[in-house]
Amino acid sequence: MAFKLAVTPASVGGGGDSFNLDEKVIKSVVYKTDTPDDSNARSHDVGAILEIRGNLLQAAEEDTKKMAKWTLESALPYKNVVVTQTAGSFVMREYTFTEAFVVDYIEEFNDTEGEGKFTLILKQKRENIKDVKIEGGYGA
């Protein structure tokens, strides 16, 4: 499996730098549809979450630094995010969030490995949940 992440400022409420991360950096992606746990019927209160984990490599330092700076943004926090998962030349999934914002961001370093690890958790802005796209099943 290979993953790619493309991040650009959202058309509304977005700013800052664009950045891209590839399969050398991204090691896993989790997509989650989130609904209230205390509901006894299908709720209209639905959220979409992406959890992206990877390595902080020296070769990708500029783009991972842009990612870390985005996590601190409060004035223009929204970004367009596209995560593509491929297997060989086949696109298994492509997730598109049009107004993603950072829920949590963690960087981990230790003294036995030369590079660190990160976890980035994103959500789509609730009012625009209808704009989330889940595609796949085609050639890369």
- Which pair of structure tokens corresponds to residue 117? 């690890």
The partner residues of 133 in beta bridges, in order of sequence, read 96
State the pLDDT at residue 2. 95
pLDDT along the chain (140 residues), means of 10: 94 88 96 84 83 93 94 93 95 97 95 87 95 91
State the pLDDT at residue 56. 94
How far from 106 is each of 27, 73, 117, CA to CA, in Å? Answer: 15, 15, 8
- The pTM of this model reads 0.90
In sequence order, the 6+-apart residues with CB closer than 8 A to the CB of 113 are none
Closest by Cα among 55, 51, 60 to 19: 60
Q: Whose structure tokens read 């996590």?
A: 71
Closest by Cα among 102, 99, 105, 103 to 133: 99
How far from 68 is each of 42, 72, 130, CA to CA, in Å? Answer: 36, 7, 27
State the pLDDT at residue 41. 65
Q: Give the C-alpha separation, 83 to 50, whole Å.
A: 9
- Looking at the domain 2-35+46-139, which fold is it? Pnp Oxidase; Chain A (2.30.110)
State the pLDDT at residue 37. 79
How far from 57 is each of 30, 61, 79, CA to CA, in Å? Answer: 21, 6, 23
